[in-house]
Amino acid sequence: MSESGYSYDDCKSTADWLLSRTDIRPLVAIVCGSGLGGLADMVKDPKTFKYSDIPNFPQSTVHGHAGQLVFGTLKGKQCVCMQGRFHLYEGYPVQKITLPMRIFKLMGVQAVILTNAAGGLNRDYKVGDVMLIKDHINMPGFAGTNPLAGPNDQRFGTRFPCMSNAYDRQLKQLAREVGDELGFGEFLREGVYCVLGGPSFETIAECHMLHRLGADAVGMSTVHEVIVAHHSGMRCFALSLISNLSVLDYDSQEKANHEEVLETGRLRAGQLQKLVSTMVSRLDLKDVHAA
């Protein structure tokens, strides 16, 4: 293993270790955010690996994140689900928290679907709304925290990747169409997600600033994973469950808290599972394993 633990050979070693222990050859990866781990429970004939058993894999330390990879089939598509992800606030380097994306790429994954729970900045949003992410603001990136910093391995992607198309427009359109068919149109939104480092929730002044910058929702995940997945050539779709509304009024007695995030996830979980699983059933993906 290299000194960093993030090299192409390290990722390939972990990918090969996983593939040697399951017959599933995933084309889709699903990242389950806070309170949304039930998506993985829909997988048929599951083969589960605890993060602690996977070579070179980080460990999830957050309540509400199970900390395991689940391989299986969802609506006829072979897939892998992350029940629990990794965050900057857990103390990991940004290259470590995005490592699974590169491992997925080397396992043959073509598309990544990411979910998260986020605070709503847009005043038109309500708790329980689902925001389809059309773009992001990488706030830590302004200070140099980018998962692509350091030496670039061309086997993953180019040195200077374009990010204006990071969120696949066809996948977003598919989500909109499926949502409308399922009768979810009234709580589906589309907007810009801003990532912060956490773990403290935002101050009122910070919420005002982010809203003025054009962010509709704010959270502590997803963006870094999307940067690495897009860099590696995988199609990305992401959505945010608006689990709380960010406080913008100094006279308000409201306070953001993690329990509210998990409870909102439980209330909306069934509908989100139906949305994502129906999307997966309609994905048109090229099976690289058959080539």
For the domain that residue 17 is a member of, what is the CATH number? 3.40.50.1580
Backbone angles phi, psi at 163, to 5 degrees: -115, 5
| pLDDT tens-digit series, residues 251-265 | 888 777 777 777 777
Residue-range definition of the domain harbouring residue 242: 8-284
Catalytic, 89? Answer yes
Backbone angles phi, psi at 273, to 5 degrees: -60, -40
Q: Which of 34, 146, 232, 240 is catalytic?
A: 34
> Does 290 have pLDDT greater than 50?
no
pTM of the predicted model as reported, rounded to 2 decimal places: 0.93
| pLDDT tens-digit series, residues 91-144 | 999 999 999 999 999 999 999 999 999 999 999 999 999 999 999 999 999 999
Say what the pLDDT of residue 61 is.
74
Q: Which of 40, 111, 215, 220 is catalytic?
A: 220
Q: Is residue 163 part of a domain?
A: yes
Q: Is residue 147 part of a domain?
A: yes
Identify the H or E element spanning 141: helix 139-142
Q: Is residue 85 part of a domain?
A: yes
Our count of domains for the chain comes to: 1
Would you call 229 exposed, middle or buried from its count of C-beta atoms within 10 A (0-12, 13-18, 19+)?
A: buried
Catalytic, 136? Answer no
Q: Which of 138, 240, 244, 277 is catalytic?
A: 244
Average pLDDT, the chain: 91
Q: Is residue 290 part of a domain?
A: no
| pLDDT tens-digit series, residues 269-285 | 889 999 999 999 999 87
Q: Is residue 191 part of a domain?
A: yes
Q: Which of 60, 116, 138, 221 is catalytic?
A: 221
Q: Is residue 3 part of a domain?
A: no
Q: Distance between CA 172 and CA 144 in Å, rounded?
A: 29
Q: Is residue 2 part of a domain?
A: no
Catalytic, 116? Answer no
Catalytic, 87? Answer yes
**Which residues, in sequence order, are CB contacts of 278 under 8 Å at separation 6+?**
75, 178, 181, 182
Structure tokens at 79: 């897939």
Q: Is residue 273 part of a domain?
A: yes
